[in-house]
């Protein structure tokens, strides 16, 4: 700080001791005041209170403070109290020091859950569960139905993948325009499209022409993809808007709900298929009805957002942050690995058992460990601010899991069922960490790099994340489960996926180190610019000098 200090006035208060240091014994201007307090929570309001109490003490001849040699300086300081108070109030309005972060009760974890928050989260849980239940309901019976109508495997694969492909395209667009449309309206619209698409898809069974069957199936799955992309993006946005300081934790609970939907979907679909007389009209009509019920539930109970309409968010602004890309790639890879196992692992499991029930139990190991571990990863990430660390650990666990599921030829492990079971559990636990931590870390990166902490950023981040996740759902069955699987077999393809996961963990580690050093360099550069600005201000003309800053080289005026 500029200037030399020589005189000091010390005030003793109940909250701490304060030293008001002054420039040389000038009787007209107080150039600088520095505050030193033993109470870290003391604010500028405490200083103003001490000034008031000191003035009262002076008037009543109370000597609880140490009187300086120059009593005239102290009296003039107190007479200018109102001017000093105005400067403090103006500084408080404009914000405190650039280096200080504003105090926020939520940042300390003191967040009170309201009834409205509980209702909101319940609506999100219901819509998430039904969406993922609908996603997995067709696995037990639709491939056989399609083959009976003469469809080839590639045509069946396209029908399965169209939903995810459409969701990949529509999610970033929806995330961009959520602030204009409204999160609640977006969620309700998505659930309506999803319900309509599922009900219409069930009526494909009424079409006897192969061409008409394929065309109608493609159209209805695209409609379902529009609904899923819209509703899931809105769900993530509402979750982030409602629980901004607990995103990873609440996302962990939502991922548990999604895992339960994936877990129960095949069982629920197979049961309805049998009850409907081996017709898949009943399963899709029922699931469409549940979607419609979820829409009405959200329409009636979901609280309307109490915020003004703002402009749409910017996807390009988010993607210009380089550290977002590794996180999005991790979400893509986690989704791709999970979707790779869906069409291929059942064939690999026939080496150990031909019983479809036991094969289903093996799949339940993935879904169960995924659903059970997701809340734990979310809690760790939010409580200890370790979303990036959890993400890296999850990728490593996924990599180890794939080495055991194969098992990898490099490890020379015997092909035993118990080894595969351990691999499936490790993969489920790791994938839960990847998905939950990726979305939480992406939100933190966006806010850290000065994107507005409002619904615009929440919508854009949700859209980009859901787009990356859905793209992985397309990549897994088509590329890994199709081309690589047919060329190299399950064991070698699992080894390739393990290598990709381990490489992704290494890339994120390197990017984290680079980001840390880059931010340190930017902070040092910013401090130099700030110091340079202060020097230029010190040498400005006297009329522009702030109250507490004496221009360098200018002697204080002497009062006659």
Q: Which pLDDT score, from 0 to 100, does residue 559 have?
A: 43
C-alpha separations of 387 from 50, 377, 433, 436, 477 in Å: 43, 8, 9, 8, 28
Answer yes or no: are the C-beta atoms of 404 and 413 closer than 8 Å: yes
Answer yes or no: are the C-beta atoms of 30 and 80 closer than 8 Å: yes
Angle at 3 between CA 543 and CA 92, to 5 degrees: 60
Q: Tell me the C-alpha distance between 475 and 161, whole Å.
A: 9
CA 269 to chain centroid, in Å, comes to 32
> CATH 1.20.1250.20 region(s) of the chain?
116-512
Q: Which pLDDT score, from 0 to 100, does residue 294 have?
A: 94
Q: Which pLDDT score, from 0 to 100, does residue 156 have?
A: 80
Residues present in the chain in total: 560
Mean per-residue pLDDT pooled into runs of 10, the chain (560 residues): 41 42 40 40 46 47 42 47 44 39 39 83 94 85 81 80 90 90 93 95 88 93 94 92 87 88 83 80 92 94 68 80 94 91 81 78 86 91 90 96 89 86 94 92 89 85 91 84 80 92 96 89 74 57 43 46
Answer yes or no: are the C-beta atoms of 241 and 186 closer than 8 Å: no
Q: Which pLDDT score, from 0 to 100, does residue 2 have?
A: 41
Pick the CATH number of 116-512 from 1.10.10.10, 1.10.287.130, 1.20.1250.20, 1.10.645.10: 1.20.1250.20
Q: Tell me the C-alpha distance between 536 and 527, whole Å.
A: 14
Answer yes or no: are the C-beta atoms of 250 and 243 closer than 8 Å: yes
Q: Which pLDDT score, from 0 to 100, does residue 558 have?
A: 46
Closest CA to 176 of 332, 328, 316, 327: 316
- What are the residues facing 234 on neighbouring strands? none
The strand ranges marked E within 42-114 are none
Answer yes or no: are the C-beta atoms of 164 and 466 closer than 8 Å: no
Cis peptide before 67 (omega within 30 of 0): no
Q: Tell me the C-alpha distance between 537 and 265, whole Å.
A: 68
Closest CA to 212 of 270, 151, 253, 273: 151
For residue 157, how many other CB atoms are within 10 A of its CB?
17
3-state secondary structure of 10: strand
Q: Which pLDDT score, from 0 to 100, does residue 485 have?
A: 80
Q: Which pLDDT score, from 0 to 100, does residue 104 have?
A: 38
Closest CA to 447 of 318, 290, 343: 318
Structure tokens at 306: 């109490």
Q: Tell me the C-alpha distance between 446 and 322, whole Å.
A: 11
Exposure of 118 in the CB half-sphere (CA atoms within 13 A)? 4
CA 362 to chain centroid, in Å, comes to 31
Q: Which residues contact residue 192 at a Cβ distance below 8 angstroms, ignoring those fewer than 6 apart?
A: 227, 291, 292, 295
Quick: pLDDT tens for 386-417.
999 999 999 999 999 999 998 888 888 888 88
For residue 452, how many other CB atoms are within 10 A of its CB?
13
Tokens 């139905």 sit on residue: 145
Answer yes or no: are the C-beta atoms of 305 and 184 closer than 8 Å: yes
Q: Which pLDDT score, from 0 to 100, does residue 82 have?
A: 47
Q: Tell me the C-alpha distance between 236 and 124, whole Å.
A: 9
User: Taking the chain, what is the end-to-end CA distance rounded to the nearest angstrom?
Assistant: 29
Q: Tell me the C-alpha distance between 387 and 394, whole Å.
A: 10
């Amino acid at each position: 700080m500029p200037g030399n200090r020589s005189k000091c006035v010390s005030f003793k208060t109940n909250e701490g001791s304060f030293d008001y240091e002054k420039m040389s014994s000038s009787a007209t201007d107080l150039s600088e005041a520095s505050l030193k307090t033993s109470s870290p929570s003391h604010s500028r309001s405490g200083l103003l209170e001490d000034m008031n109490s000191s003035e009262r003490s002076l008037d009543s001849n109370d000597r609880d403070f140490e009187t300086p040699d120059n009593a005239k300086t102290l009296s003039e300081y107190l007479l200018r109290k109102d001017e000093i108070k105005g400067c403090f109030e103006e500084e408080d309005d404009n914000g405190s020091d650039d280096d200080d972060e504003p105090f926020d009760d939520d940042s300390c974890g003191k967040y009170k859950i309201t009834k409205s928050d509980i209702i909101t989260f319940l609506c999100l849980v219901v819509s998430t569960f039904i969406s993922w239940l609908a996603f997995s309901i067709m696995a037990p019976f639709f491939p056989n139905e399609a083959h009976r109508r003469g469809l080839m495997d590639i045509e069946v694969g396209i029908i399965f993948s169209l939903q995810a492909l459409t969701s990949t395209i529509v999610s970033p667009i929806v995330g961009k325009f959520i602030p204009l449309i409204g999160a609640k309206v977006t969620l309700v619209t998505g659930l309506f499209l999803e319900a309509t698409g599922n009900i219409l898809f069930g009526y494909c069974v009424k079409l006897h022409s192969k061409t008409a069957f394929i065309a109608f199936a493609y159209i209805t799955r695209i409609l379902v993809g529009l609904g899923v992309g819209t509703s899931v993006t809105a769900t993530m946005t509402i979750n982030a808007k409602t629980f901004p300081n607990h995103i990873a934790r609440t996302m962990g609970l939502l991922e548990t709900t999604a895992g339960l939907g994936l877990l129960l979907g095949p069982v629920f679909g197979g049961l309805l298929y049998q009850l409907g007389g081996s017709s898949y009209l009943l399963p899709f009509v029922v699931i469409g009805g549940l979607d419609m019920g979820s829409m009405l539930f959200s329409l009636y109970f979901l609280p309307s957002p109490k915020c003004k309409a703002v402009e749409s968010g910017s996807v390009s602004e988010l993607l210009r942050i380089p550290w977002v890309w590794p996180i999005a790639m991790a979400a893509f890879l986690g989704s791709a690995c999970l979707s790779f196992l869906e069409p291929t692992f059942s064939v690999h499991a026939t080496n150990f058992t031909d019983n479809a029930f036991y094969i289903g139990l093996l799949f339940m190991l993935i879904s169960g460990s995924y659903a059970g571990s997701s809340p734990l990863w979310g809690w760790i990430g939010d409580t200890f601010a370790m979303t990036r660390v959890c993400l890296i650990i999850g990728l490593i666990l996924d990599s180890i899991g794939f080495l055991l599921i194969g098992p990898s030829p490099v490890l020379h492990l015997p092909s035993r069922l118990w080894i595969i079971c351990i691999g499936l559990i490790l993969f489920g636990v790791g994938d839960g960490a990847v998905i939950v931590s990726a979305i939480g870390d992406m939100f933190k990166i966006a806010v850290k790099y000065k994107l507005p902490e409002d619904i615009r950023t929440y919508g854009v981040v949700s859209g980009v994340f859901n787009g990356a996740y859905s793209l992985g759902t397309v990549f897994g069955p088509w590329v890994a489960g199709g081309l690589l699987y047919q060329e190299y077999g399950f064991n070698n393809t699992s080894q390739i996926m393990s290598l990709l996961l381990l490489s992704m963990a290494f890339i994120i580690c390197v990017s984290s180190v680079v980001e840390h050093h880059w931010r340190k360099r930017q902070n040092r550069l910013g401090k130099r610019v700030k110091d340079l600005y202060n020097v230029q201000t010190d040498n400005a003309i006297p009329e522009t000098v702030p109250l507490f800053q004496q221009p360098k080289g200018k002697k204080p005026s002497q009062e006659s």
